[in-house]
Amino acid sequence: EAQVTQNPRYLITVTGKKLTVTCSQNMNHEYMSWYRQDPGLGLRQIYYSMNVEVTDKGDVPEGYKVSRKEKRNFPLILESPSPNQTSLYFCASHLGTGAHEQYFGPGTRLTVT
């Protein structure tokens, strides 16, 4: 089954404790993205990747890091989480140029206290 998976689905952590949210897709997609969703603000892109070892900032990259060492995986790293990073996070992927449908993962609800 074609899908994007994220782990964990729910996470409660404390300020400053490094965490990683994993994202994996099995569709051989070139493009992958991370979004955060907050009430009234919609989906905002954090980082995106056009291929292995190629990443770039989205609209709200501050406080986040990503890496793309393999085509299927695109982890999101919060080196020192803060309460304002409490949000619902989605990973998404799509095939690339000419293909426009993004496939979203199930979401990770993160709470930073």
Partner 1 sequence: QKEVEQNSGPLSVPEGAIASLNCTYSDRVSQSFFWYRQYSGKSPELIMSIYSNGDKEDGRFTAQLNKASQYVSLLIRDSQPSDSATYLCAVNKRVGSARQLTFGSGTQLTVLP
Binding site for partner 1 (CB under 8 A): 31, 33, 35, 40-45, 48, 50, 56, 58-59, 90, 97, 100-102, 104-107
**CA pseudo-torsion sign 84, 86, 90, 91:** positive
The SS3 assignment for 12 reads: strand
How many residues belong to the chain? 113
Q: Which C-beta is closer to partner 1: that of 13 or that of 45?
A: 45
Q: Which is nearer to partner 1, 92 or 112 (CB)?
A: 92
Query: What's the token pair of residue 55?
Result: 């990443």
Q: How far is the CB of 113 from partner 1 (least distance, A)?
A: 21
- Tell the smallest beta-carbon distance from residue 14 to partner 1 (Å): 24
Instruction: Tell me the three state secondary structure of residue 19.
Output: strand
Residue 41 CB, nearest approach to partner 1 (Å): 6
- Between 42 and 80, CB nearer to partner 1: 42
Residue 37: count of CB within 10 angstroms of its CB? 14
